[in-house]
C-alpha cells in the first residue's frame, strides 16, 4: 500500500485552475522531488496536500485512509502527519531553539513536557544544533535557523515531511549545511517531498522526480530517467535549460 496516493487532484485559486489531473503514488521512505518552472504548481500541490488549500476534485489517501479536507478536525489531525517547512522559517523570535521545537507538542498537543524536551533535544542534535539549544533565532545564522525549523517540523513525529525551497533564502555558503541535514534525514527513511532548485542535490537524493508544468504532472521517473533520458518535449526543454546554468 502506498503511503500517499493522489488521484485526479484539481485545485484552483478563485477562477484560476492551478493544478489539474494530478496522480501520484508514493511509498514509505521515498524521497520525491518536485521540479518545474516557476508557477507550475509545486508549492500549491504541497499546500493542498497539507490542507492549506482545499482541493476541488480528486482524492488523497494517507496510509490507505481517505483524507477528508472538508473536515476541520481531520485537517488538524493531518498537520501532525504531514509537516511542511517553507523558505521563510518563521521561528518565534522570543523563544530559544529548544522552545521553538517544543512549543507545538506541549501547548497544542499537551504532550508531557519531559518527553517532548528529550525528543526536541534529540531532533536538534540530529540537525547539528545540539550545542545551540538555548540560542535565540537572532543569535543563529540563516542556515541554523532553517535547521531549527526542520527540527520543529519533525517534533510532531510526522509520517511525511514537505520541504519547499528551504535553501532558497540562504547565502550560498549556508546552503550546504541545510542540504547535509536533509540528506541525513533522507537516509533515515522519512518520506519526503522536496522542492529545490539545487539540481545536483535533487539528482543525488531523490528516489523519484516529478516534473510539473502548467499545473500538470508532465513526467515522473528516477533521477536518471528524468535528467538523462526525458521522454516529454517539455521535460527535455526544462532539463536542457537548467543543466546549461
Ligand atoms: N495565493 C494565491 N492566489 C492566487 N494565485 C496564486 C496564489 N499562489 C499561487 N498562485 C498561482 O498559482 C500558480 C502556481 O503557483 P505555485 O506557487 O504553486 O508555483 P510554484 O511551482 O511553486 O512556483 P515557484 O517555483 O515560483 O515557487 C501560479 O500561476 C501562481 O500565480
Ligand atoms: Mg513555489
Is 112 part of a structural domain of the chain? Answer: yes
Arithmetic mean of pLDDT, 143-171 = 93
Q: What is the largest CA-CA distance in the chain?
A: 55
pLDDT at residue 211, rounded to an integer: 97
Per-residue pLDDT reduced to its tens digit, 89-135: 889 999 999 999 999 999 989 999 999 999 999 999 999 999 999 99
Per-residue pLDDT reduced to its tens digit, 47-77: 999 999 999 999 999 999 999 999 999 999 9
Could you count the other beta carbons within 10 Å of the beta carbon of residue 150? 25
Is 245 part of a structural domain of the chain? Answer: no
**Start-end of H helices in 89-232:** 97-103, 113-126, 142-154, 172-186, 199-205, 223-228
Pick the range with the lowest mean pLDDT from 13-27, 90-104, 119-133, 169-183.
169-183
Burial of 9 (0-12, 13-18, 19+ CB in 10 A): buried
Is 63 part of a structural domain of the chain? Answer: no
C-alpha cell at 136: 535565540
Judge whether 219 and 230 are in contact, CB under 8 Å. yes
Judge whether 122 and 172 are in contact, CB under 8 Å. no
Mutate to test the pocket of ligand 1, among 11, 12, 13 (most ligand atoms within 8 A of CB): 13
Length of the chain in residues, anyone?
245
Distance CA 80, CA 154 (A): 9
Identify the top-confidence range among 10-14, 78-82, 239-243: 10-14
Is 133 part of a structural domain of the chain? Answer: yes
Structure confidence at residue 245 as a pLDDT band (50, 70, 90): low
Cα-to-centroid distance, 36 and ligand 1 (Å)? 12
Is 172 part of a structural domain of the chain? Answer: no
Domain around 105: 91-157
Return the residue whose CA atom lies nearest to atom 30 of ligand 1: 39
Judge whether 44 and 11 are in contact, CB under 8 Å. yes
Mean pLDDT score of the chain:
94
Arithmetic mean of pLDDT, 210-215 = 97
Is 188 part of a structural domain of the chain? Answer: no
Return the residue whose CA atom lies nearest to atom 6 of ligand 1: 13
Q: Is the pLDDT of residue 155 over 90?
A: yes
Give this prediction's pTM: 0.94
Pick the range with the lowest mean pLDDT from 52-66, 180-194, 223-237.
180-194
- Who lines ligand 1 at CB under 6 A? 13, 16, 18, 36, 38-44
Judge whether 179 and 167 are in contact, CB under 8 Å. yes
Is 207 part of a structural domain of the chain? Answer: no
Judge whether 21 and 8 are in contact, CB under 8 Å. yes
Q: 3-class DSSP state for residue 143?
A: helix
Domain count, the chain: 1
Is 182 part of a structural domain of the chain? Answer: no
Amino acid at each position: 500500500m502506498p503511503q500517499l496516493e493522489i488521484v485526479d487532484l484539481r485545485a484552483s485559486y478563485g477562477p484560476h485552475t492551478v493544478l489539474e489531473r494530478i496522480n501520484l503514488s508514493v511509498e514509505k521512505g521515498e524521497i520525491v522531488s518536485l521540479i518545474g518552472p516557476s508557477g507550475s504548481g509545486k508549492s500549491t500541490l504541497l499546500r493542498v496536500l497539507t490542507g492549506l488549500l482545499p482541493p476541488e476534485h480528486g482524492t488523497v489517501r494517507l496510509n490507505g485512509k481517505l483524507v477528508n479536507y472538508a473536515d476541520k478536525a481531520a485537517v488538524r489531525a493531518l498537520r501532525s502527519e504531514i509537516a511542511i517547512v517553507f523558505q521563510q522559517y518563521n521561528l518565534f523570535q522570543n523563544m530559544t531553539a529548544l522552545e521553538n521545537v517544543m512549543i507545538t507538542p506541549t501547548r497544542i498537543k499537551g504532550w508531557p513536557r519531559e518527553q517532548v524536551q528529550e525528543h526536541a533535544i534529540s531532533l536538534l542534535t540530529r540537525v547539528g544544533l545540539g550545542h545551540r539549544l538555548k540560542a535565540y533565532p537572532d543569535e543563529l545564522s540563516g542556515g541554523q535557523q532553517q535547521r531549527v525549523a526542520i527540527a520543529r517540523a519533525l517534533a510532531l513525529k510526522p509520517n511525511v515531511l514537505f520541504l519547499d525551497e528551504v535553501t532558497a533564502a540562504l547565502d550560498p555558503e549556508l546552503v550546504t549545511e541545510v542540504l547535509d541535514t536533509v540528506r541525513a534525514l533522507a537516509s533515515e527513511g522519512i518520506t519526503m517531498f522536496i522542492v529545490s532548485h539545487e539540481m545536483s542535490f535533487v539528482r543525488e537524493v531523490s528516489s523519484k522526480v516529478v516534473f510539473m508544468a502548467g499545473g500538470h504532472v508532465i513526467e515522473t521517473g528516477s533521477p536518471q530517467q528524468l535528467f538523462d533520458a526525458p521522454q516529454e518535449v517539455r521535460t527535455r526543454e526544462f532539463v536542457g535549460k537548467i543543466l546549461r546554468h
